[in-house]
Amino acid sequence: MLKKRGDSKSRINTEINAGSMADIAFLLLIFFLVTTTIEVDKGILVRLPPWSEEDPLEAKVEKKNLISVLVNANNDLLVNGEPEQLSSLKDRIIDFITNPTGREDRPDSPDRAIVSLQNDRGTNYDTYLTVYNELQAAYRELRDEEAEKRFGTVFDNLTRDQKKQVIEVYPMKLSEAESTDFGED
């Protein structure tokens, strides 16, 4: 059969069929959204007290039961006003809490010991976390020793009731004071 010039079937179609392009782009978008992982900072897990409209109670703490850990804007560490190396912080906190020599200027029992942490607004966040981790490591070591002595295993392997018994001996009393500008000129 001969084709005529005016026949619409003989014309060449110069358009590109883009009907499925939107579908393909949408599928690619979904693919990348599903397969991409987004890192989320977890932060520090600290249980805060419940919100209350009442004024806070005035707590009277004996000076001998309190050890002050201070990190200034230059990331220098002071413990009770004295310069301290980060490497010896954990041992100093353990010595304060346990009071092995029975000093009069230390707590009478570990459950009375309070560690006060205060940092400057200019403190490097990594330094703050390192100090915080050292304080927690001191309590973790004390609890592991107590668990080993009482139950023959580390603290993490204890039952809930056994953990409560160890925590009663070494409750973590860590007080964080509000940040200040004490290290800036």
Note the pLDDT tens digit of each residue in 25-38: 899 999 988 898 87
105-162 confidence digits (pLDDT tens): 899 899 999 999 998 888 888 999 999 999 999 999 999 999 999 999 999 999 999 9
pTM above 0.95, yes or no: no
Fold of 63-140: Nucleotidyltransferase; domain 5 (3.30.420)
How many other CB atoms sit within 10 Å of the CB of residue 22? 9
> Any idea where the domains of the chain sit in the sequence?
63-140
Lay out the sheet containing 66-71: strands in order across. Answer: 82-83, 77-79, 66-71, 114-119, 174-176
Contact of 135 with 67, CB cutoff 8 Å: no
Angle between helices 160-169 and 125-151 (to 10 degrees): 110
